[in-house]
């Protein structure tokens, strides 16, 4: 008798943990297949440190085949799922189509950048969800500082040294905090850059920084940012983005060449394409992480609306902490569906949160204990080392080297602006000319029109105002090459 096949779509926090736990529980009695566009698990919380030059890119990636030896890795991205035929149709990095049949399906497709119908944002802003976006930001910021130092025009120098981050949640706050230190280091002790003042602006419509956290931790982060020189503006956002700057909702026009979009995330559009009951773009599941009416289909992480049993009537938030825990419960419930053990409902206990503010600064509340300063910094880095499923020694070594050696502020030019569009349905891979077409559904359906979709030929080439692809453009897989016609409302 053939072994049952379990197909896991996506290798984020939920997908990786599901595959890891299943490989231990199954003990060879089931075939576990992991479908993912890249061959690594990305530890997203440390991505701001990649953009700031603290960590090398490979430090925040964990090899899937190296750490999941009993899981079959299939490189590709799901384009269509046939629930009745129990088949997942996908496209591999070279554009070839494939099909995977399954006995159990686990949808852990994760999330993508959240779009808003703001003029110019889709064209001029960049998100921060994948490694290509972090590498692009690192190069772009370095380039702007270097170009600013070379110009004799004070206004142009100031605009190039102004960096706008929209969204004061975890990601935006960490990007601004690390970014200010990164650019300050590039002008410090440089005699030809005396007088240059890098300026980071953090915007959010919320009333305070890190609104998800306790007010004391929020104040701590706000104080650190302001003392460092970050221009924190709450109750303010972007009204329009242009090539030369951004118009704010308070009427001010800020000249800048950098707009980092960290307003939040939305579920991967793959979940919506299934035609099953949804909750704000997330697939509805029961407390056992199964789709009602489809007992062979499980979902967890950002793609699933999981009932919060601690807060009846609500759903668990889209955080890495929940995704990691749900993956473990999901794996055990899949094993139970084959008669191995008993099902378990997902319940959680808040262990607290950590926010790295760069240097020795951080804000943390482990087990409800509010910490700041050096103590919070130690707890934050200790937590990340414990949570990472690999590369701990390498990460710790980079932290040590960063503490004693200056960072290398160089731009490699491996990722161009047009390679990481904000509206990408796959921020984990860079868009490249000649890549396979993306047949996945549009990321959003319920918002005001943004831009017209280009033709197939246009989608496979860089914009006319961008340099032609050359040896400094990294080849790689592509899933989304067309722009959605709509953004989130």
Q: What is the pLDDT of residues 420-465, one digit of tens each?
A: 999 887 788 888 776 554 444 444 333 333 333 333 333 334 555 5
Report the pLDDT value the prediction gives residue 473, as an integer from 0 to 100.
39
* Burial zone of 292 (CB within 10 Å; 0-12 exposed, 13-18 middle, 19+ buried): exposed
Report the pLDDT value the prediction gives residue 477, as an integer from 0 to 100.
36
Mean pLDDT of 76-101: 95
Q: pLDDT digit string (tens) for 284-293? A: 999 999 999 9
Q: pLDDT digit string (tens) for 138-166? A: 999 999 999 999 999 999 999 999 999 99
Q: Which two tokens stand for residue 188?
A: 């410090």
For the entire predicted model, the pTM comes to: 0.87
Mean pLDDT of 462-481: 43
pLDDT higher than 90, residue 472: no
Pairing of strands 5-9, 31-36: parallel
pLDDT higher than 80, residue 409: yes
Report the pLDDT value the prediction gives residue 463, as an integer from 0 to 100.
52
pLDDT higher than 50, residue 476: no
Confidence of residue 260 (pLDDT cuts 50, 70, 90): very high
pLDDT higher than 80, residue 117: yes
Mean pLDDT of 5-10: 97
Mean pLDDT of 118-136: 95
- Measured CA to CA, the distance from residue 116 to residue 114 in angstroms comes to 7
Tell me the pLDDT of the chain averaged across its residues. 87
- Measured CA to CA, the distance from residue 47 to residue 135 in angstroms comes to 9
Pairing of strands 61-63, 72-75: unpaired
Which residues share a beta bridge with 100?
A: 88
- Measured CA to CA, the distance from residue 114 to residue 111 in angstroms comes to 9
**339: Cβ contacts below 8 Å, ≥ 6 apart:** none
Lowest-confidence pick of 33-42, 219-228, 390-399, 436-445: 436-445
Residue bearing the bigger pLDDT, 409 or 487: 409
C-beta separation of 352 from 368 below 8 A: yes
Closest CA to 329 of 309, 311, 314, 312: 309
Q: Which two tokens stand for residue 180?
A: 């200010």
């Amino acid at each position: 008798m053939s072994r049952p096949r379990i197909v896991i779509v996506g290798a984020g926090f939920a997908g990786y943990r599901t595959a890891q736990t299943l490989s231990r529980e199954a003990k060879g009695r089931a075939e576990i297949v992991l479908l993912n566009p890249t061959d690594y698990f990305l530890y997203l919380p440390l991505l701001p440190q990649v953009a700031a030059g603290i960590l090398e890119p490979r430090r925040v990636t964990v090899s899937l085949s190296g750490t999941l030896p009993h899981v079959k890795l299939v490189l590709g991205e799901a384009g269509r799922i046939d629930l009745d035929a129990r088949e997942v149709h996908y496209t591999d990095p070279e554009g070839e189509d494939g099909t995977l049949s399954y006995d159990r399906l686990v949808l852990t497709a994760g999330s993508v950048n959240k779009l808003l119908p703001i003029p110019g944002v889709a064209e001029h802003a960049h998100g921060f969800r994948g490694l290509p976006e972090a590498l692009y930001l690192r190069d772009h910021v370095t380039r702007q500082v270097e170009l600013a130092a070379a110009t004799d025009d004070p206004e142009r120098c100031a605009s190039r040294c102004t960096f706008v981050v929209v969204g004061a949640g975890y990601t935006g706050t960490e990007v601004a905090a690390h970014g200010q230190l990164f650019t300050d280091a590039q002008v410090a002790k440089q005699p030809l850059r005396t007088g240059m003042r890098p300026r980071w602006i953090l915007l959010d419509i919320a009333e305070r920084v890190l609104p998800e956290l306790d007010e004391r931790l929020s104040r701590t982060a706000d104080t650190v940012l302001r003392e460092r020189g970050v221009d924190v503006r709450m109750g303010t956002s972007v009204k329009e983005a242009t090539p030369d700057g951004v118009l704010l909702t308070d009427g001010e026009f800020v000249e800048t060449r950098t707009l980092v979009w960290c307003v939040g995330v939305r579920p991967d559009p793959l979940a919506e394409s299934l035609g099953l009951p949804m909750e704000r773009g997330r697939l509805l599941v029961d407390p056992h992480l199964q789709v009602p009416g489809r007992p062979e289909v499980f979902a967890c992480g950002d793609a699933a609306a999981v009932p919060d049993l601690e807060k009846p009537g609500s759903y668990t938030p889209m955080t890495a902490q929940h995704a990691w825990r749900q993956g473990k419960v999901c794996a055990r419930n899949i094993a139970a569906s084959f008669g191995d053990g008993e099902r378990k409902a997902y319940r959680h206990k808040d262990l607290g949160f950590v926010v790295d503010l760069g240097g020795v600064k951080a804000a943390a509340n482990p087990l409800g204990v509010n910490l700041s300063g050096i103590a919070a910094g130690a707890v934050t880095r200790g937590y990340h080392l414990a949570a990472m499923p690999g590369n701990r020694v390498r990460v710790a070594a980079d932290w040590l080297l960063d503490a004693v050696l200056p960072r290398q502020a160089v731009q490699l030019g491996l990722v161009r602006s047009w390679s990481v569009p904000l509206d990408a349905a796959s921020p984990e891979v860079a868009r490249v000319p000649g890549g396979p077409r993306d047949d996945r559904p549009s990321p959003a359906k319920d918002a005001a029109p943004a831009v017209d979709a280009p033709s197939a030929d246009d989608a496979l080439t860089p914009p006319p105002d961008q340099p032609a692809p050359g040896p400094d453009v990294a080849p790689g897989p592509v899933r989304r090459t067309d722009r959605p016609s709509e953004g989130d409302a």
